[in-house]
Amino acid sequence: MSGRHYRTAVYLSTVIEPRAERLRLNEPSLRQTAFALADRELGISRQGVVPVEGALSARFEVKRWALDLVQCSNELRWFRTGIAAGYFDGSPDSIYGAAAHLIDVETADFASRLDESVPSPQLPDFDEFHRSLAAADDAMTAGFYKCVEMLLFSTFDEWAAAMNHLSVLTAQMSDNPALSIDAASVDQLSWALAGADDLIAWVDEETAIPYIALEAIRAKDQVDPGDWGFENSRRIEQLKDRRNGIAAAAFYLTDDQGAAASTRIANLWRSLDARTTTDSVAPGESDWVFDVSGPPTTAPIATPRYEIRKDNPPQQGTAGS
Amino acid sequence: MAVTESKHSPYKVKSPSGWSLYVSHHSRVRRLVVFVHGFNGKAVTTWSDFERGGGNSNWWHESDLLFVGYESTRDTITGVANRLRFELSKFYPTPLPEAMVVRGVQARDDITSPYQELILIAHSLGGVVVRRAVCDAAMEWDLAGRTQATRSILLDAQLRLFSPATAGFEAAGFLGSLRAMSIWRAVEIFLRRSPAYSQLQPNSSSLMETRQRTERLAAQEGFEALRARIVWASPDEVVISERYSTDYVDDSWDGTTHSSVCKPRAGKFEQPWHFAETGRTR
């Protein structure tokens, strides 16, 4: 009994076939727009920048379809690498082996071009491939998909609104360490919190087989740093920056209302104090940044430590004292 | 390249979402081992070292492995426990048919013989999920008159728990512990005050009810599944290390943390494999 035959059958049946089926279900105009959108964002168009009409590309179905296309490309690359690692059945002569029969020509062409645009992963051995595939499968949560969709396919306005939303959350958490918000609002932000964890890990760490869309962004940056690749990379950096702000504020979260109130008063005093010591701060802007160099603490915090930015003189624990 | 033939192959089930069955290619499989992860865990990767146990012992070759996935930031303990209670009958005692033959390829020679053993292994929050599921199965059987026809398969299970959160999280350390494990999950759980957050406070009504109901039935004939074998991390600064009065006497492993207690390492820390196989901690 061959485990390799079985694994191949399972991968085709539970991963490739359902994806191919989803990619078949769409009206032709949406499909072509989604192809153009994915081509443009991943920098693999053979005709240069493909014009994509804004209103159409903003449609939910187009983004979802484009995301399926990226996912399919990623899954086909896993399959190709798995064949080379001896994990799946297949011949090196046929790039996607038996999977090629399950997907349409246009999708296979897209996947192949995307695959060729990024460096080939270092061929993992059998065990490493087995482990990496399991980890990748675990990472494919709804939050992960949403995160990829936002990074690649959200419009400028959508992205700006999302970043603003995260900034507001940071301010709210800093203002009220006992903050509680409704589940629906947390769901809306989840892609940037736990949902982004695995994606950021892919950005920051070496993994056996990196996520193909991120590899494409990286490759684009090296070829044409002023074009779309730069915009995608900028988004990743913005997301990391907003997450750093939230992570700093999260150190002070507490469900002890007394400790939360003390922190709020301390913050208020600090804010007032800062405004009397500098006039370089624009109204409504904070000139404070959190010092996250210390270890997280779970004890109630009455006087959180801050680091003064730029030309403000350093102060420690003066608020309320 | 030399290719090692894996002892198990992954089969991602369609429903319930997030569950994966690792199918053994051994000619004769005797048991189903079910894994339930904790707060910061993931369905398979939390337990990936266990899956490699196949290299160490024939016991693992003769086992199919079922990894139960759920979203610890939003799923409720009750919801996951109910899913486990109702869905497990698809997988046990008869091996999941859809995974035994795929596109005409058989997983192994014998694909129809029922399993002879059911082992439930859980960590942290997963321990609460498992105890709740088995407790509800026991209550249901008790209320139905304890007939053979109404007996849940969960009552055939053997429980092995790694640092279960069944007595709640350390009062001062719950949020801090969560932050130490994953700041992003901690933020989400805290902001939404997810049900698990309140349910895992020490002495919460949910934890107390499960404990009282379990202890009331565990000593009676036919309810042996309610008695768990437990091993704690030492030091464990995340959960309160307190077993039920009806459980087997527990043990602790020095030098392990809440996260590492369920991570076996070949040649260095093999106790978790041994515990899973036998229920013994030494």
| Upstream peptide bond of B16 is cis (omega within 30 degrees of 0) | yes
Decide if pLDDT at B9 tops 90.
yes
Task: Chain A: give the shortest CA distance to residue B123, in Å.
Answer: 17
Of A116-120, A224-228, A292-296, minimum mean pLDDT range: A292-296
Mean per-residue pLDDT of chain B: 90
Query: Across the interface, which of B12, B45, B103 has its CB nearest the CB of A12?
Result: B103
Q: What pLDDT, on the 0 to 100 scale, is given for residue B80?
A: 95
Among A21, A253, A254, the strongest candidate for a mutation testing the B interface, having the largest count of B CBs within 10 A, is A253
Residue A53 banded pLDDT, cuts 50, 70, 90:
low
Residue A292 banded pLDDT, cuts 50, 70, 90:
very low
For residue B106, the chain A residues in CB contact (below 8 A) are 1, 6
* Pairing mode of beta strands B31-36, B63-68: parallel
pLDDT digits 0-9 by tens, B165-216: 999 887 656 666 666 667 888 888 888 887 777 788 888 899 999 999 999 9
Residue B229 amino acid letter: R
Q: What global pTM score does this model have? A: 0.86
Mean per-residue pLDDT of chain A: 77
Of A2-11, A39-48, B78-87, minimum mean pLDDT range: A39-48
pLDDT digits 0-9 by tens, A190-229: 999 988 988 888 777 666 667 888 888 777 766 655 555 5
Decide if pLDDT at A299 tops 90.
no
- Overall average pLDDT of the B112-135 stretch: 97
| B20 contact A CB<8A | yes
Residue A238 banded pLDDT, cuts 50, 70, 90:
very high
Residues 6+ apart with CB under 8 A from B2: none
Model ipTM value = 0.91
CB contact under 8 A, B186 and A253: yes
Residue B97 banded pLDDT, cuts 50, 70, 90:
very high
Q: What pLDDT, on the 0 to 100 scale, is given for residue B2?
A: 42
Interface of B with A in 63-122 (CB under 8 A): 69, 71, 73-74, 99, 102-109
> What is the rounded distance in angstroms from the CA atom of residue A309 to the CA atom of residue B64?
57
CB contact under 8 A, B190 and A182: no
Residue A316 banded pLDDT, cuts 50, 70, 90:
very low
Residue where the block lists tokens 């992954």: B10
Beta bridge partners of B230: B161
| B1 contact A CB<8A | yes
Residue B34 banded pLDDT, cuts 50, 70, 90:
very high
Task: Chain B: give the shortest CA distance to residue A202, in Å.
Answer: 16
pLDDT digits 0-9 by tens, B140-178: 999 999 999 999 999 999 999 999 999 988 765 666 666
Of these ranges, A2-6, A187-191, A200-204, B100-104, the one predicted with the greatest mean pLDDT is: B100-104
Q: What pLDDT, on the 0 to 100 scale, is given for residue A167?
A: 96
Task: Chain A: give the shortest CA distance to residue B173, in Å.
Answer: 7
Taken in order A54, A55, A57, A60, the sign of the CA dihedral is positive
CA-nearest residue to B101 within chain A is A6
Task: Chain A: give the shortest CA distance to residue B245, in Å.
Answer: 31
Residues 6+ apart with CB under 8 A from B104: A9
> What is the rounded distance in angstroms from the CA atom of residue B139 to the CA atom of residue B119?
20
Contact B195, B215 (CB under 8 A): no
Q: Which residue has the higher pLDDT, A320 or B206?
A: B206
Total beta-carbon pairs less than 8 A apart between chain A and chain B? 131
Decide if pLDDT at B83 tops 90.
yes
CA-nearest residue to B11 within chain A is A10
Decide if pLDDT at A232 tops 90.
no
